[in-house]
Structure 1
Amino acid sequence: MWDYLQHLSYWDWLAFGTLLLILEVFGAGGYLLWLGVAAACVGVLTFLFPALPWTWQLPLFGVLSVLSAVLWWQRQRHAAKPSEQPGLNRRGQELLGRQFVLHEAIDGGRGKIKAGDTLWLVSGPDLPAGTPVRVVGQDGVLLKVEAV
């Protein structure tokens, strides 16, 4: 084992990095990506400096692994900003607070409104068709309304 460690070549590091990246493809969730990149970097450094001893290669791998993971984590944390359109891809959220006219009467707690070209199922107090209502909530595809 000591003989192997004393003669680590760039091929060993590149193979280790490739193995980590392949394992990442199978669903590690980003954990092995930065280890694989760090191993590849150590492989490149070992290629450029063939006399680099293993006592420097292993700590260099550790430092590069931690550094790359921390830098990526900070970048992701700062990149996550609130959306300008929070209701995007959440059908019905854009209807909250808007007023519509009942397309079908609410009978037994259920009725329909027409929003644009879509009929939405609504729940609320019994009201006749043609009554103006305001959307006050949503439960899945069911909109909750109240009379205006």
Structure 2
Amino acid sequence: MMNLFPIEAHWVWMILAAVLATAEIIVPGFFLIWIGFAALITGLVTLMLGITEALQFALFAMLAIAAVFAGRRWFALNPIESSDPLLNDRAARLVGEHVTVVEAIDGGEGRVRVGDGVWPARGADAAIGTRLRVTGIEKGALLVERAL
């Protein structure tokens, strides 16, 4: 049988593990590290047992699937606490902020200025220039009430 690798197979798996671990650092996401872990285990098993190439690929595939599922389960049971949980939720960050009406709120709907942008708003009727406070978000519109 022809050897697909010009170097010993266990080194190929370990190099692949190092490349995937490095890629995880460059492209963060906690996914490639699990595939890299599967490659490392495959390399170690290949080194110790000298298994065939077909078995190596089968082992790697099974370990990769198992490692990804194990990683997903671990993160589901141990979520990472963020120091700023609203970092990517701009609308939620606006709750409590004061805004100015730029299009009168009539019939419960209008528009308000938030910083340098304008957002749709829902709340009690208010004239242009009225200062309001954001109390929540609903379907992309800010829920507002009179500012105290």
Matched, 1:42 2:45: yes
Aligned twin of 1:118: 117
Task: Report if the CA contact (8 A) 2:9-2:43 is conserved.
Answer: no
Q: Map residues 41-60 of structure 1 onto 2, 5 A cutoff.
A: 41-46=44-49
RMSD (CA atoms): 3.7
Identity score, percent: 27
Q: Map residues 20-39 of structure 1 onto 2, 5 A cutoff.
A: 33=35, 34-39=37-42
Aligned twin of 2:141: 142
Matched, 1:84 2:83: yes
Call closer, same or farther: CA 1:86–1:112 in 2, change over 3 Å: same
Greater C-alpha radius of gyration? 1
Shift of 1:121: 0.5
Shift of 1:46: 3.1
Q: Map residues 3-22 of structure 1 onto 2, 5 A cutoff.
A: none
Aligned twin of 1:97: 96
Task: Report if the CA contact (8 A) 2:103-2:128 is conserved.
Answer: yes
Matched, 1:108 2:111: no
Call closer, same or farther: CA 1:73–1:37 in 2, change over 3 Å: farther
Shift of 1:74: 9.3
Call closer, same or farther: CA 1:108–1:82 in 2, change over 3 Å: same
Other structure's SS at 1:120 match? strand
Shift of 1:38: 2.3
- Listed one character per residue, the Cα deviations across residues 7-43 of structure 1 (whole Å, up to 9, x for unaligned) are xxx869x89xx9xxxxxxxxxx88x835554222100
Cα distance in 2 for residues equivalent to 1:137 and 1:72: 35
Cα distance in 2 for residues equivalent to 1:140 and 1:109: 14
Name the amino acid aligned to 1:128.
A
Shift of 1:80: 4.0
Call closer, same or farther: CA 1:109–1:79 in 2, change over 3 Å: same
- The count of aligned residue pairs is 108
